[in-house]
Copies of this chain bind each other. A is one copy, B any other.
Amino acid sequence: MSSKLGAGVTRTDRLLSDARTIRYYDTAGQVRATADKREKGEQPGIGELRLDPLVNEWVAMAAHRQGRVFLPPKELCPLCPSTGENLTEVPEDNFEVVVFDNKSPSLRPPQGDWALPDMAGPDTDTGTAAGKCEVICFTADHGHAFKDLSTERIRVLLEAWMDRTRELSKEKFIHHITPFENRGEEVGVTLAHPHGQIYAYSYIPPKVSRMLEVARKHKERTGKVLFDEIVAREIKDEERIVAQNKHWVAYVPYAARYSFEIHLAPKVSVADLSELTTEVADAYPAIAKEVLQRLDGVFDIPMAYIAAWHQAPVREGRDLLRLHWQITSVRRAPGKLKYLAGSESSMGAFIMDLRPEQSAAQLREVKLT
């Protein structure tokens, strides 16, 4: 089953041996007919959601995730294309970008009718951990990083993220979609192959819930979209801008929480990836690559980071929240990491070790090769 997307991308769907779906995003008319030769596996059961009553937030219990492989060598990498010796998650012997259902998902599609209980205290504080978790591989090349991808490949990647957002948004049980990349052992990455994940939540995640509340109050008071005003202010202030082109602007936010934190936003704002126009999407790869090259250039070492797409929820607040890409690095100096200890972890009170203006200057000064 193949379908045509934007940017010359064709998507072909196949089933893996345990009935999970893999989607190939291709640009050169490849035929994707290779079957998954692994034994038929079983899929884990669905987990539990529990309400943390102190803050009224859902916590997903994924007790069946133990036993994941930890940093396997290249010849055993489950995200590389399959070879005769190593049957991986990708049956084909090469690929551009693939997205497949996570083998050990924290969140799974629910069976039959499903509804999350209202958050109404101790009596209705459990539900099933509904949602969907997918893995996205950026390249078949085990040794590459996002910043090493060609701009053409980054455009395919963006098209795949846009496609996943569109498709997952159709599922009734999905309320928020977050594509993200964790990079570096320092943030717990267990597979070195360049990849990201897509979490589709059946609930509004706590951070988004908070952002919604703040944006809603702002709109009620001023009639304006908060995020648009934030971007306008960063453009006006100028000193925290790291890079920009006609359609995108990258800045260290005024109140950054990490020494190296970059937000990349389209200049004409949209609710989520599905709303990006072709022109704006085409302008993303170059600046995305530049921003990540600058990040690695600050200390001339691969920086551990989390890069997450912030999107408006699927079914509410689409006039309130705006698409942007948040990159936060836990590294604050070559030998030093930022730990979330007492103040941050217990109290949510962040202490930032560098002025955002200084951080932005360091990022701007990196010589690109």
Contacts and interface: CB of A to CB of B under 8 A. Distances in A.
A199 interface: yes
Given A199-B347, A211-B54, A348-B206, A188 B337 contact: yes
A309 B80 CA distance: 47
A276 interface: no
A50 B345 contact: no
B347 A205 contact: yes
Main secondary structure of the interface of A (DSSP, over half): mixed
A232 to B, nearest CB: 9
Chain multiplicity (copies): 2
A179 to B, nearest CB: 9
A286 B56 CA distance: 32
B230 A182 contact: no
A366 interface: no
Given A125-B254, A348-B210, A354-B63, A54 B341 contact: no
Contacts of A328: 345-346
Contacts of A306: 341-342, 345-346
Given A206-B347, A257-B52, A349-B206, A180 B342 contact: yes
Contact of A230 (B53, B57, B222): B53
A345 B180 CA distance: 11
A70 B337 CA distance: 12
A211 to B, nearest CB: 5
Contacts of A211: 54-55
Interface string A332-364: 010111111111011111111111101000000
Nearest to A215: B54
Interface of A: 48, 50-63, 65-66, 70, 106, 121-122, 125, 176, 178, 180-182, 187-189, 197, 199, 201, 205-208, 210-211, 214, 218, 222, 226-227, 229-230, 233, 253-257, 306, 308, 310, 326, 328, 333, 335-343, 345-356, 358
22 contacts: A48-B355, A50-B254, A52-B257, A54-B211, A55-B207, A59-B256, A61-B355, A106-B343, A122-B229, A125-B255, A178-B346, A189-B341, A201-B349, A205-B343, A208-B347, A210-B210, A306-B341, A306-B346, A308-B342, A310-B346, A328-B346, A340-B340
Given A54-B226, A188-B337, A205-B347, 12 more contacts: A50-B254, A60-B351, A61-B355, A63-B353, A66-B333, A121-B218, A122-B230, A122-B233, A178-B342, A178-B346, A205-B343, A308-B345
